[in-house]
A and B are shown apart, each in its own frame.
Chain A
Amino acid sequence: MTTTPVLEAIDETQETQGKQPLNVIYEWLTTVDHKKIGLMYIVYALIFLVIGGFEAILMRIQLAIPNNHFVSPQVFNQLFTMHGTTMVFFMGMPILFGMGNYLVPLMIGARDMAFPRLNAFSFWISAFAGLLLYFSYIGGSGLYAAGSAPDVGWFAYAPLTSKVFSPGHSTDYWTLAVFLSGIGSIGTALNIVTTILCMRCKGMKMSRMPLLPWLYLVMSCLVFVAVSPLTAAQVMLTLDRYLGAHFFDTQAGGSAILWMHFFWIFGHPEVYVLVLPAFAFANEIIPVFSRKAMFGYPAMVAASVSIGFISLSVWAHHMFTAGLGPAGNTFFVFATMVISVPTGIKIFNWLATIWGGKIIFAVPMMFMIGFLFQFLIAGLTGIMLSAAPFDWQLSASYFVVAHFHYVLVGAIVFSLFSAFYYWYPKVTGKMMSETLGKWHFWLFLIGFHLTFDFMHVPGILGMPRRIYTYEAGRGWDTLNFIIGIGAIFQAAGTLVLVYNMIHSYYKGKDAGHDPWDAWTLEWSVPSPPPSYNFAIEPTVNSRRPLWDIKHPEDPDSDYES
């Protein structure tokens, strides 16, 4: 096996010619390079993370003490609607698509995505959708009264969204923004699937592909069958509101339950759309920091694919209290519980990877360990809620809020932070500060547990979600105060991260090609990678091509069939 030095060559030629700001802006606005688009996704999502987080803080201030009048009830409704919509559609999806955009072509040895211009289109339409949603804050009753921002919840249950209950245009902004972001998501998903299936480098059979592209493949396929129904439902809602159609108009025989079905056919798989990339990061980071190959690669792939399939048959567990009847409830209880089998396989495989490894407790690994614990707890409360009788007691209480924030923040955001620290050196060529990273980790971990551990309790004590304020003396006061403190800790941790990213960009020490001694293809190119990624298209012989180079005496290809 001969090896050839790669790269170095095309580095300078592709960089910006002039350094004038206008040129740089023009270059970013017109770029079709998957790395730049990925970065734009991430920056855009981080902006929305700060906005959505700010909304969360406002809500926690409002609920910190009983009988509070910090914001008006209307503003509170708008806050939780905007917080949910922002975090799912304009923070979660874009940031994960951004990571995928950046990493997938690098990891499969491709020079760009399959359809670069479609990629740029998908980004800009998603960005426009986010702006459209927040444009609703301007106009209407003005900025202080929070304009005419949508106030129907991120689930937009009928008939709350009908013209009678939701006059004005707030719901239309919501519908259009979600619709457009859906178009962008489907475009990006299409691009990722095509890239993975058609652009892999020589020798990278599906059975040799790193697990991150595998999980993005499953996630993207899920986007087709999950986000498209939402897009269809948004069209129906718009027809209802603008042309007087009756899809969800109960006065004309339409059904509000049908909207719930359509929404949750999207809404539940959406959780897996968000969590599969989080798994993908774990699959790449845990082995590297345990200094072992991933345990049970085929089982991981099989588990991911089956999660994709099963997640399509569980949506009605969000509707146990809507009156589906015993047969429907039983089916969805079992379907929901079945999903814990492949998820359990994943958790055990991660543990088996760590087991006996030479663990390096760098910041990415610390976040990963947090991810493993919190994802486990989130799964356990998930099993509780998937039992219909239990759900009848706790539906629409803070217990549910605590459960899904455990998944979304405890699992997905922790995994995402880990990925930030892990791939930041590749993206910028600089290491992030470990000290600041540890500050970020501990602040965020403490804040997370203060907020979401305690949030289960008022739920069990009967505190409903989405309430504007509450009476004193119901046993919720202290708990809500602690929850509010936790939220502030989390915000502080996130600000440390943002500071760390900016600070390290200018002051960080040089990372070199491969600071973590990792094994996948993205670490074979310079940091940051040049425009065309690979000067010579690579050929791979195993799942860990860089291991083979570093250890020619003991290559992986000898062990893989």
Chain B
Amino acid sequence: MTTIATASRIPIDGPIETPWKLPYRGTIGMACLIIAESAIFIIFVVAYIYYIGKSLSGPTPAQVLELPIFGTICLLSSSIFVHNAVSSLRKDNRRGCTLNLAITVLLGLIFLATTAREWYHLIHDEGLTIKTNLFGTTYYSLVGLHATHVVVGLIMLTLVLGISLTGHVKEEHSEKLEVLSLYWHFVDAVWVVVFLVVYVLGR
């Protein structure tokens, strides 16, 4: 093999093109995570849909499920508030940001509480557990997976809220907060699918 010595030179100022701007890595990273998470949710949703009406024993969804209208309204509206938090921060309105974050966390907690209440009712009053039948299996795993994502989102939002309360969240962090808000929007969007599949289609 011929070995050819070459200069260790590379052009460092070639002709300047349009300003060299690449996307923010946080946004792209979060977009990738959302794609991967969506694939996970799709598998659970497919399993749910596939097993609708295939349980060999009761209870059936029609007997025990109620539409969680209140929780849904809380969760979906929280998306608006987290969006407001980001846009307030962009305008360097830190108080507005903190306030909107607090409302987001509160609404998320209310949603979690409604899910907890629903599960308590199903387990204690209706005797439906993950072992009971295919409905229980798919219901608890799909809704539980979503609830896990809500918990993770709430932990991150609460952290930011805490930092924000001490006054350390500034305008230059708005891009990072936006990345977090993307996650929260994703959690909300998944809830729309879960709601439609579990509570509308599945009943």
- Residues of chain A touching chain B, judged by Cβ–Cβ distance below 8 Å, are 1-8, 114-115, 186, 189-191, 193-194, 197-200, 202-203, 220-221, 223-225, 227-229, 231-233, 235-236, 239, 243-247, 252-255, 258, 262, 265, 360, 362, 431, 434, 511-517, 521, 523-526, 536-541, 545-546, 548-550
Q: Does A225 contact B35, Cβ atoms closer than 8 Å?
A: yes
Contacts of B166 in A (CB 8 A): none
Q: Does A229 contact B9, Cβ atoms closer than 8 Å?
A: no
Q: What are 11 A-B contacts defined by CB distance under 8 Å? A: A3-B9, A6-B8, A115-B29, A189-B32, A190-B32, A199-B25, A229-B40, A252-B133, A252-B134, A253-B56, A539-B12
Contacts of B138 in A (CB 8 A): 247
Starting from the known contacts A229-B39, A514-B5, 8 additional A-B residue pairs (CB-CB under 8 Å) come to A198-B25, A236-B44, A244-B130, A252-B134, A254-B51, A360-B1, A517-B6, A538-B12
**In the complex, A6 Cα to B56 Cα: how many Å?**
71
Which residues of B in the span 124-140 have a Cβ within 8 Å of any Cβ on A? 130-131, 133-134, 136-138, 140
Residue ID in chain B nearest A244 by CB atoms: B131
Q: Given A235-B141, A524-B10, A549-B9, do A198 and B15 touch, yes or no (CB 8 Å)?
A: no
Q: Given A243-B131, A262-B43, A539-B11, do A513 and B6 touch, yes or no (CB 8 Å)?
A: yes
**In the complex, A546 Cα to B9 Cα: how many Å?**
8
Contact of B36 among A7, A190, A546 (CB under 8 A): A190
Count residues on chain B whose CB falls below 8 Å from chain A CBs.
Answer: 49
Contact of A190 among B10, B29, B40 (CB under 8 A): B29
Contact of A255 among B6, B32, B50, B140 (CB under 8 A): B50
Contacts of A258 in B (CB 8 A): 47, 50
**B61 CB, min distance to chain A CBs, angstroms:** 15
Contacts of A115 in B (CB 8 A): 25, 29
Q: Given A232-B43, A262-B43, A539-B13, do A515 and B131 touch, yes or no (CB 8 Å)?
A: no
Binary contact readout B1-22 vs A (1 if CB under 8 angstroms, 0 otherwise): 1111111111111110100101
Residue of A186, A253, A512, A521 with highest tally of chain B CB at under 10 A: A253
Residue ID in chain B nearest A526 by CB atoms: B8
Q: Does A1 contact B14, Cβ atoms closer than 8 Å?
A: yes
Contacts of B15 in A (CB 8 A): 1, 541
**In the complex, A225 Cα to B28 Cα: how many Å?**
16
Contacts of B5 in A (CB 8 A): 512-514
Q: Does A549 contact B7, Cβ atoms closer than 8 Å?
A: yes
Q: Given A194-B32, A239-B137, A360-B1, do A247 and B47 touch, yes or no (CB 8 Å)?
A: yes
Contacts of B25 in A (CB 8 A): 114-115, 194, 197-199
Residue of A236, A246, A360 with highest tally of chain B CB at under 10 A: A246
At the interface, yes or no: B93 with Cβ under 8 Å from chain A? no
Q: Does B29 contact A2, Cβ atoms closer than 8 Å?
A: no
Contact of A200 among B4, B13, B22 (CB under 8 A): B22
Contacts of A227 in B (CB 8 A): 36
**In the complex, A200 Cα to B136 Cα: how many Å?**
48
